[in-house]
Amino acid sequence: MRPDETRNTHIAGDEVSYIVPAVLCSFFAITAFVFGFIYLIPSISKKKSMEETMGTIVYVHSCGRSGENGPNTGGETWSASVEYEVEGSVFEMLDKHCFGKPPTIGNSFPVLYNPNDPWESESGTFFALWLLPTILYIFATILLSLGFILTKRLRSKRSR
């Protein structure tokens, strides 16, 4: 470099506007991946250690109103009692998840149960097992993609 040349080593304000969101997107994407993994482990463990059967919805319970404690009260939410059979014995499970639409009595319902203690059971629905990890992974993928796009734009501005 000649003495009369000056080298611009500081980051321009326009570049900073891409750095901060890129770093934040990456941070939140990694956080979402970690939490997605944390919520995925129990679901995988349940699928491996528990047996699956189809039960029948025999009763519908009211869970109350959604948003009951907040200023915007929602509609009534519902849960299902499910009967399922294991080796000739009938067991009943109350689903701990509540939905805005009441389940239909007589419909099939997937149940995961402990083969050593069939009374120990849980919902085997996609909602109960996979929904939260799936949402977290989709959110993380979007944030990671956004971080890559912002980083690419920053690099292309620096090369000019």
Evaluate if residue 107 carries a pLDDT over 90. Answer: yes
pLDDT confidence of 74, banded at 50, 70, 90? low
The closest alpha carbon to 55, from 10, 4, 108, belongs to 108
Evaluate if residue 10 carries a pLDDT over 90. Answer: no
pLDDT confidence of 106, banded at 50, 70, 90? very high
Q: pLDDT by residue (tens digit) across 44-66?
A: 999 899 999 999 999 999 988 76
Tokens representing 39 are 């919520």
Domain boundaries, given as residue ranges, for the chain:
13-42+133-158, 55-124
127 φ, ψ (degrees, to nearest 5):
-55, -45
Cα–Cα distance measured from residue 30 to residue 34, given in angstroms and rounded to the nearest whole number: 6
Q: What is the DSSP letter of 104?
A: P
pTM of the full predicted structure? 0.69
Q: What is the pLDDT of residue 101?
A: 87
Q: pLDDT by residue (tens digit) across 124-135?
A: 989 889 999 999
Evaluate if residue 145 carries a pLDDT over 70. Answer: yes
Q: What is the pLDDT of residue 142?
A: 93
